[in-house]
A = this chain, B = another copy of it.
Amino acid sequence: MPKKRATSQDVANAAGVSRTTVSLVLNNVQGVNIPESTRERVRDAARDLGYVPNATAQALATQRARAIGLIMTRSPEHIASDVFLPQLISGLLTVIKKRDFRLLIEIVDGNADDRAYIKLAQAKHIDGMIILTPRSTDEGIKKLDEMNIPAVLIGGIPECRLTSVLADDRAASQQAVEHLTAQGHTEIACILNAREIYPDAQNRLAGYQDALKKADIPYRDSLVRFADFDPQSGQVAMEDLLKKEHFSAAFIASDNVAMGAKRAIREANLHIPEDISIVSFDDIPWAAYADPPLTTVRIPAQEMASKACVLLLDMIHGKKPSRQTFYLKTELVIRQSTQPYRP
């Protein structure tokens, strides 16, 4: 049991060659000719010694960390209840593993240093980063492409030149709401997934408006509420709507928020879909097992992560992405939370 880890120098000594040769052999450097006999001596020595290259030293020498960061601009509490995180991580890891990279997770909450994640890159901890649901107010993001740091946004922000991968929230929302208008609903409430500053919320609101317009239903501000990711905020929003407004259907731009809204409806002794039809957004795993099973828009979170990851790795290796924004297909999953309008 060796106390100290073997270095490439140890391998070199054991194989009776120089450290340079060891490096050339183990890294399979092209364009050098070293006879197979020597190569084998080196590889045998490395195996016998249980040699594992020191990644830190490699990173220092190559100026490459072989790691990317997943940056989440949210508070720890929000992260704890983030439904998509496992899918995203899964998507990232499958891509990353194939390319022999590492995944670093970093969280940046609003009041902290705005440049925290930039430092992460400047410190050469990571070669690039994927930024999750950025706020449009985030100043740091603009600095990123000035500094020429490879970065890909998941759920991009307007007027930003960074490469981004997103679902077509607006079109998807429109489709969801059209599912309601098609069934004769004309008074349709809307609860957005997040506050106004989040571009996602704005896009989904726009889709809601598109669908209304197409069905010749006048848009009413009073039927719209902004939630804040969690069920609690959905419950509050729905309670408020039920108290002040009249409607036969609701578009709720997040399954998670819909969970809370459902409770508000139940506590008002109303039923879904008999009294109120509901279409929501995300298709989290429990949407199918809710009571009733929710009709919802599926977001391909895992594929979005994979796509973003591939783009980022390409950028790190110097390939420019073919486009600036990549839209991934959503799908309306029809279950049992809606029914045709009955006066």
A residues near B (Cβ < 8 Å) are 1, 5, 52-57, 59-60, 65, 67, 76-77, 79-83, 85-87, 89-91, 93-94, 97, 102-107, 119, 122-125, 146, 231, 256, 259-260, 262-263, 266, 285-286, 288-291, 293, 302
Contact = CB atoms under 8 A, between A and B. Distances in A.
Nearest to A87: B80
Given A53-B123, A102-B125, A266-B291, 14 more contacts: A54-B60, A54-B124, A55-B125, A56-B59, A56-B124, A56-B125, A79-B86, A80-B91, A85-B89, A104-B104, A231-B286, A262-B289, A263-B291, A290-B291
Contacts of A124: 54-56
Contacts of A56: 56, 59-60, 65, 123-125
Give the most central of A80, A89, A125, A266: most B CB within 10 Å: A80
Contacts of A81: 86-87, 285
A44 to B, nearest CB: 19
Given A80-B87, A104-B102, A52 B285 contact: no
Contacts of A91: 80
| Overall SS of chain A's interface | helix
Contacts of A266: 291
Nearest to A112: B97
Given A52-B122, A59-B56, A122-B52, A82 B86 contact: yes
A82 B119 CA distance: 31
A122 B2 CA distance: 12
6 contacts: A56-B60, A56-B123, A80-B86, A231-B285, A262-B289, A263-B291
A289 B259 contact: yes
